[in-house]
Chain A
């Protein structure tokens, strides 16, 4: 069969109430420094390994980049600052991965774990996550819920309406088929 087995809508059309149902999911996250910590916290070993492997693979590309080791050391532990070989061109310095983040979603009685990238330990003892910004750094504090407000700072909006003029003349954004 070359078509989807099912196709349904949950938000669009008639059933807007289902959206709230999806919002009932409890989302939380925890950073781990070792696979052992992760398994000890009750996360399935395979989920721990997958999260660790993905974080380690992504870390060089996602780590903050600095031009000198000194600049790196202003934000991160100097010992962790190393030359980043993943960057092309001129050398850059980046902190080494300090741990990895796992997200946990509990919905409808089922618990899922998903990899959420590397974390880097800052000098002020907070953790930086490229996916979430500043994250909870406690090593033993357990799962910490992540409302979306926490992932970002409060905006200080100074204007609106700077997008949408379509290059100055308005009009639709999407692109249908063209011939010619």
Chain B
């Protein structure tokens, strides 16, 4: 694993915009950063990333059956009681899921460690699946990069296959929804819809704020048509607490990701994994933190169950120094996870997002941050396999 500096394509911004990548920069700074790339060996990818991803995914899936049937565990995960039965039913019917991303810390040598599962509303799929692929293709065509280089990235192929597989189980009409004002989220659902269309599955776009509620408790589009299935890039736990949330279980609306993903996208899955697979080389020790007011001992990290974009993470470094990220998840239960630092490279601290499409490890994307907490301002950096 190396970080190699390289000149960005002079026309990369125009290329990004041509391909609908409107969120390539954040506040004037590039979010897509091709001034460097990471290079891995094939065995690093296959042995240290792909194989653990498959195993960790199977481990996580092995817990769902027990969690959805356990009032105690659902309570621990702070999932509102109103949704328990709906979640359990969605699992019993094995409602189809599309994808998830696990965040792995890896320095090129030791076993990758799982930070967390983003199994409900993972983003950066467009960057990883498509734009990263285009970058390598173009740099090879222009003779900048060796034509023999490869990339761990079967994402788009597997997404199209995934939509083709779940398409026949989706109630129609099928919609993709995200928050109206988020360029990134809107770009992500546009891309996923594109993959669906390529799989022969037609879907429309709707802003999550525009969804209507009918007299009978179903959800409607802007033409007053009942929505059959909804791919929602919007957290299940936010749906739960939104005004219309209580209507979901009886609405007949099919969700992608399905309701049972609520138990895997929750940070509480980390202590549950540790309980069940204690000592696994890819897991960090983790516990439910019953005393969130207590001082955090050195060498531990405190994270809220529902934190997004690295919000409200508190790290007590082994040196005793404390690092905190701001956020609005101040009232929610927390977990403790053993501190395991991100490796340090010239550009900062890289974190690997390892994707699972359906149940198959599918590729990866890397994000670099200037700090130990990877946030929504981190930069996406492409990778190659040498």
Q: In the complex, what residues of B have CB within 8 A of residue A13's CB?
A: 18-20
Give the contact stretch, choosing among A33-41, A70-78, A136-144, A148-156.
A148-156
CB pair A19–B197 under 8 Å, yes or no, is: yes
A106 to B: closest C-beta gap in Å: 12
Q: Is A17 positioned at the interface, with any CB of B under 8 Å from its CB?
A: no
How many interface residues does B have (CB within 8 Å)? 109
In the complex, residue of chain A having the shortest beta-carbon distance to the beta carbon of B125 = A174
Shortest Cβ distance from residue A166 to the other chain B in the assembled complex, whole angstroms: 5
| A123 interfacial contact with B, CB 8 Å | no
Contacts of B207 in A (CB 8 A): 164
B300-325 contacts to A, CB under 8 A, are 301, 303, 307-310, 313, 315, 325
Residues B172 and A152 in contact, CB atoms below 8 Å apart: yes
Q: Do the beta carbons of B184 and A10 come within 8 Å of each other? A: no
Q: How far is the CA of A14 from the CA of B16 in the complex (A)?
A: 11
Contacts of B169 in A (CB 8 A): 117, 131
Cα–Cα, bound, A180→B371 (Å): 10
B206-229 interface with A by 8 A CB criterion: 207-216, 218-221, 224-228
Contact A178 B182 (CB under 8 A): no
A174 to B374, CA, bound (A): 14
What separation, in Å, do the CA atoms of A4 and B256 have in the docked complex?
Answer: 24
Mark out the residues of chain B between 97 and 151 whose CB falls within 8 Å of any chain A CB in the assembled complex. Answer: 103, 105, 115-116, 118, 120-124, 129-130, 133-134, 136, 150-151
* Residue-wise interface mask of B (332-363) relative to A, using a CB-CB cutoff of 8 A (1 in contact, 0 not): 00000100001000000101010000000001
Is B171 in the interface zone, CB < 8 Å from A? yes
Within 8 A of B (CB), among A153-180: 153-180
A-B interface contact total, Cβ < 8 Å: 269
- B297: interface (CB < 8 Å): no
Known: A2-B385, A13-B20, A157-B224. A179 touches B351 (CB 8 A): yes
B205 to A, closest residue via Cβ: A11
Interface string of B351-381 (1 = CB under 8 A from A): 1010000000001000101011111101000
Bound Cα distance A162, B374 (Å):
31
Would A180 and B313 count as touching, CB distance under 8 A?
A: yes
Interface string of A125-143 (1 = CB under 8 A from B): 0000001110000000000
Q: Give A101-131 as 1s and 0s: 1 = Cβ < 8 Å from B's Cβ atoms.
A: 0010101000000111100000000000001
29 A-B pairs within 8 Å (CB atoms) are namely A3-B150, A3-B153, A10-B194, A11-B197, A12-B20, A14-B19, A22-B197, A61-B92, A87-B92, A88-B92, A131-B169, A133-B171, A148-B202, A155-B214, A155-B226, A157-B214, A158-B213, A158-B214, A158-B215, A162-B213, A163-B211, A164-B207, A167-B242, A173-B178, A175-B235, A175-B308, A177-B353, A178-B373, A180-B372
Instruction: Give B contacts to A, CB under 8 Å.
Output: 18-20, 42, 45, 92-94, 103, 105, 115-116, 118, 120-124, 129-130, 133-134, 136, 150-157, 168-169, 171-173, 178-180, 182, 184-185, 188, 190-191, 193-194, 197-198, 200, 202, 207-216, 218-221, 224-228, 232-235, 237-239, 241-245, 265, 301, 303, 307-310, 313, 315, 325, 328, 337, 342, 349, 351, 353, 363, 367, 369, 371-376, 378, 385
Contact residues of A with B, CB < 8 Å?
1-5, 7-14, 19, 22-23, 25, 61-62, 87-88, 103, 105, 107, 114-117, 131-133, 148-149, 151-180
